Amino acid sequence: MNSYVPNYLKYKNTMTVFRLIQDQQTVSRGELVRITGMSFPTVLKTVNRLLDLKIIAELEEMEPVRGAGRRGHLLRFQPGALYALGIEFEGQLLNMGMVDLNGACHHRQSVFLPDSLDINEIENCIMKETETLMKLARQKHWEVVGIGISLPGVVNQKENKILLRKAFHITAPTSVEEAFPRLTREIALPVFLGNDVNFACRGESFLRRCSPDYQDFLFVSLGSGLGASFFLNGAIWEGCSFQAGEIGRFLLTPPDKLLSSPPTYIENMINIEALSSRFHLNFSGTLNLDSQQKEVVCSYLCPYLSHLFINLFNLLDIRRCILTGIIPSVLGEELINQLTGLIGTYITDNEFTIEPSVSSDTGIIGAAVSVFDRILPVLFTEIK
């Protein structure tokens, strides 16, 4: 038998038990056997691997048993066994935080990026903030296993390369080592790249992983740009060239005008720049709108968004949308209520929902969770 076969089985068994304990938080060995269908010796070996990594701990508390039978010690998930640093670009902001195995974001911080968006200056900013957080992690004896960077651009996550990021003057495949040489050289941790909306969607799906209702949903972010991620059958669909979800390029120009007029894209009509210009709003600071202002802005946005969402709902045959980003966070329930009402005039079966994100940190969390997605398989197959 080839050596990769037992290694693969060992990884699959360990990951199955890991995910179950992560979801349950507290469980016994007997419950693991009953739920997974694995043999007791297989579960025992897998549990021992996780105990060695300190990802779970054995409690003094015993499991309740009905009738005759030997009771075993309960096992508890230890989210603080491993951490990952999540980094998210949001316009001129750089958001960062240390994330544990439960997806909790610790020591979140935000800094403004240089106006020039020069990649060397940006890397210097990342380095400064990363060194601060890594120093804190050492003081707390946290084991940080990697860094995830969420970028607004086209990213091949499997090859860990930026394919297109015009703001950084990147127009050809660029490895993480080429894009961030100091970070990868001086911080002794693996660094993984991903598209910002896809990483935020990954964070959303992770935080909602225990709900069967969130195996298919549309994740839309509206702020400095307009982007989407398609979470279908429990996974993100990236497309053949990693550009799935570029809904900002949704064309508004009528067909009879395409040959005679420059194209009009939906993103240019409803992003922060467009709203700031049209309504004289400043999204760079803390923006508080009264109910009348929200209604006016929502009345402008909703025809565009409803047109887009109705087409996407019918195209993908899904009826759940998570709407997030700076603009939805400012407008709040007023936007969701107006949008739901307008879409409801066209989709009359009432089988659709539009709701806000479960967290404002899904970008950071998704970047960190993507680190765990890459690192845990290595850890689980390396254990003897």
In order, the DSSP letters of 61-110 are EEPP-SSSS---EEEEE-GGG-EEEEEEEETTEEEEEEEETT--EEEEEE
pLDDT digits (tens, 9 = 90+) for 103-113: 999 999 999 88
344 or 71, which is more confident: 344
Rounded to whole angstroms, the Cα distance separating 354 from 42 reads: 43
The span from the first CA to the last CA of the chain, in angstroms, equals: 18
Is the distance from CB of 176 to CB of 192 less than 8 angstroms? yes
Q: In terms of C-beta distances under 8 Å and separation of at least 24 residues, what long-range contacts does 303-310 make, across chains too?
A: 303/342, 304/252, 304/266, 304/269, 304/270, 305/222, 305/270, 305/339, 306/339, 306/342, 306/343, 306/346, 308/247, 308/250, 308/266, 309/218, 309/220, 309/339, 309/343, 309/354, 310/343, 310/346, 310/347
How are beta strands 161-164 and 154-156 bridged, if at all? antiparallel
**pLDDT band, very low/low/confident/very high, at 349 (cuts 50, 70, 90):** confident
Is the distance from CB of 74 to CB of 27 less than 8 angstroms? yes
Kindly give the interhelix angle for 40-52 and 29-36, rounded to the nearest 10 degrees.
Answer: 120
pTM of the predicted protein model: 0.91
Q: What does DSSP assign to residue 290?
A: -
pLDDT digits (tens, 9 = 90+) for 298-315: 999 999 999 999 999 999
**pLDDT band, very low/low/confident/very high, at 93 (cuts 50, 70, 90):** confident
pLDDT digits (tens, 9 = 90+) for 245-299: 999 999 999 888 888 888 999 999 999 999 999 999 887 666 788 899 999 999 9
pLDDT digits (tens, 9 = 90+) for 16-27: 999 999 999 999
| Strands of 83-90's sheet in order across | 105-112, 93-100, 83-90, 144-151, 191-195
Q: What does DSSP assign to residue 317?
A: T
